[in-house]
Amino acid sequence: MNYREMMDFTGKSVLITGGTGSMGSEFARAFSSCGADVVTADINPQGSEDIIKQCETFGAKAYFVKVDLLNIHSIQDMVAESIEKLGKIDILCNHAGFNIRKPAVEFSEEEWNKLVGVNLKAAFFVAITVGKHMIERRSGRVINTASVSAARGHKNLSIYAATKGGISQLTKVLAHEWAEFGINVNAIAPGYVVTKQTENYVKDPEVFKSLTSRIPLGRLGLPSDIASVVLFLASDGASYITGQTVFVEGGRMID
């Protein structure tokens, strides 16, 4: 193996769902900086023009595709359009998701359906739609996004935790089914990361102190901390890793 060139993704094509968010956009920039062409897919086009311009500064091709992940036909159209634009999909960052935080007894059926629909159902259908393409090519990398909540019973995260636990198990099963086709399937499980969703925690000194006191490394993660692990899992250096959920959380799972 050429270790020096391990993170060279020249000639590779990457699809990133949730691509306009704080972490998804960092994934796009990271892959582009290493030579890959990218499609960022999201329901919200806000910020997509800037992301494309940033990716293009590295000489990469970059596109935005709008998708409604609650609509299976929209998912299928997203994958088809991405293949049309990129020519192929070598790497899927199956990242899109969101959270609602409140006691379990306060959740409505509508909130259950939306959380499970985006975080688990959509992740499944994105994976298998791209997976069919990868199976035909007998090659590919799938990186799902789970969470520390997949393994911990944090209060007020009942549905979110259930979906992320499902992502970890889905990752194992797809890895098992698709190994014979040369496809590696893994998941990342971030802890608290500085994003738009956590900015209120960062701004509140007491909440911030409470959060960081439970993290051995003493800080929240950055999108770049997560992106670097995604790059590794997509690289040849991770060719013998599949079915794993990699926790990226500053040591929070130690105790």
Which of 16, 67, 58 shows the shortest CA–CA distance to 34? 58
- 241 within a domain of the structure (yes/no): yes
Q: Are 98 and 17 in contact (CB under 8 A)?
A: no
- 253 within a domain of the structure (yes/no): no
The one catalytic residue among 3, 63, 160, 201: 160
Number of domains into which the chain is organized: 1
Whether 30 has a pLDDT exceeding 90, the answer reads: yes
> Tell me, what CATH number does 65's domain have?
3.40.50.720
- 93 within a domain of the structure (yes/no): yes
Range of the structural domain that residue 220 is part of: 10-248
Nearest-angstrom CA–CA distance, 173 and 254: 26
pLDDT tens sequence across 100-116: 999 999 999 999 999 99
pLDDT tens sequence across 139-194: 999 999 999 999 999 899 999 999 999 999 999 999 999 999 999 999 999 999 99
- 255 within a domain of the structure (yes/no): no
- 110 within a domain of the structure (yes/no): yes
Element (H, E) at 183: strand 183-190
Residue 201 — very low, low, confident or very high, per pLDDT cuts 50/70/90?
A: confident
> What is the reported pTM?
0.96
Q: Are 64 and 45 in contact (CB under 8 A)?
A: yes
pLDDT tens sequence across 202-241: 788 888 898 899 999 999 999 999 999 999 999 999 999 9
Q: Reply yes or no on whether 3 is catalytic.
A: no
- 87 within a domain of the structure (yes/no): yes
- 160 within a domain of the structure (yes/no): yes
Whether 60 has a pLDDT exceeding 80, the answer reads: yes
- 4 within a domain of the structure (yes/no): no
